[in-house]
Amino acid sequence: MSEARNAPIIELRNVAKRFGALVVLDNLNLSIEEGKTTVVIGESGTGKSVLLKHIVGLLRPDSGEVFFQNTRIDNLDEEGLVPFRRRMGFLFQLSALFDSMSVGENVAFPVLQHSAKSAVKTDEIVAETLRKVGLEGFQNRRPGELSGGQKKRVALARAIALNPEVVLYDEPTTGLDPVRADVINELILKMGRELKATSIVVTHDMISAYKVAHRIVMLDKGRIIADGPPDYFRKTDDQKSDDLSMAVPRPRI
Ligand SMILES: Nc1ncnc2c1ncn2[C@@H]1O[C@H](COP(=O)(O)OP(=O)(O)OP(=O)(O)O)[C@@H](O)[C@H]1O
Ligand SMILES: [Mg+2]
């Protein structure tokens, strides 16, 4: 395999971020392999969402560097970030739909913002993406009329509408019952399989983590304290003996 193929698609080098006196990312290093699904776990408030926001440039590191395919992106201005953001889809933790817009307009938003598609083409993309997430024909519904699981799927449709190379999912299954959570897990797997997307999934849901991950990374106080394939965490979880197993969150369903 050539060196280029082994190069990480995303890399954080010594990224530090604090808010006031609170150190959130503590010289964090993380390389994300192309085409794989990396799951990030860790207790509430440990910096998982802050980490994702550094990858898409919604937050800037105090020090350290963020790379997208060997291009440094943390020091780009908003305009410079546009071509990189177009290649990444972000499912926000709280879905963050625009309540004043219809479902169709929500999904069309990144298509209109990031590409020069015609109105007809945009409508086609919206219809096709809604079908993919199991919400065919929902274009004219309002976010306020939808269930939590449906809102998550609309947010997911918005994140994947432009077939991004990298999809970042922040708590995609939180608050969903096991059946609806599994619909989302299947969609994450499908994105990887059919679009060869690279996925980064932040979750508290260990059932979801074990189902979708090629690799699990555990954050604690802004540092990575465990990193390995799902089996490594499953075994540690089963042993319940040492400090690490104490730190692995139990599945919440
Ligand atoms: N924009 C901000 N300004 C100030 N503090 C922030 C900001 N964003 C995050 N924080 C703080 O940084 C810490 C890490 O936040 P983050 O949202 O990354 O946690 P998390 O690991 O995603 O937690 P959860 O599992 O509850 O979603 C928290 O203490 C949070 O209050
Ligand atoms: Mg979070």
Lowest mean pLDDT among 132-146, 211-225, 238-252: 238-252
pLDDT, greater one: 250 or 117: 117
SS (H, E, C) the chain: CCHHHHCCCEEEEEEEEEECCEEEEEEEEEEECCCCEEEEECCCCCCHHHHHHHHCCCCCCCEEEEEECCEECCCCCHHHHHHHHCCEEEECCCCCCCCCCCHHHHHHHHHHHHCCCCHHHHHHHHHHHHHHCCCCCCCCCCHHHCCHHHHHHHHHHHHHCCCCCEEEEECCCCCCCHHHHHHHHHHHHHHHHHHCCEEEEECCCHHHHHHHCCEEEEEECCEEEEEECHHHHHHHHHHCCCHHHHHCCCCCC
pLDDT, residue 243, reads: 46
CB distance 174 to ligand 1 below 6 Å: no
Task: Report residue 71's pLDDT band, with 50, 70 and 90 as the boundaries.
Answer: very high
| Domains of the chain, each with CATH number or no CATH | 3-87+164-247 (3.40.50.300), 100-160 (no CATH)
- Ligand 2 centroid to 121 CA: how many Å? 34
Q: What is the pLDDT of residues 18-51, one digit of tens each?
A: 999 999 999 999 999 999 999 999 999 999 999 9
Query: How far does the centroid of ligand 2 lie from the alpha carbon of residue 41, in Å?
Result: 10
Ligand with minimal distance to 23 CA: 1
Judge if pTM exceeds 0.95.
no
Predicted confidence at residue 206, as pLDDT, reads 93
Question: Is 194:188 a contact under the CB 8 Å cutoff?
Answer: no
Looking at per-residue confidence, does 252 or 114 come out higher?
114
Q: What average pLDDT score do residues 128-147 get?
A: 93
> pLDDT tier at 5 (50, 70, 90 boundaries)?
low
pLDDT classification of 238: cutoffs 50, 70, 90: low
Extract the tokens encoding 144: 């306020």
* Alpha-carbon span 219 to 231, nearest angstrom: 18
Whether residue 118 has pLDDT greater than 90? no
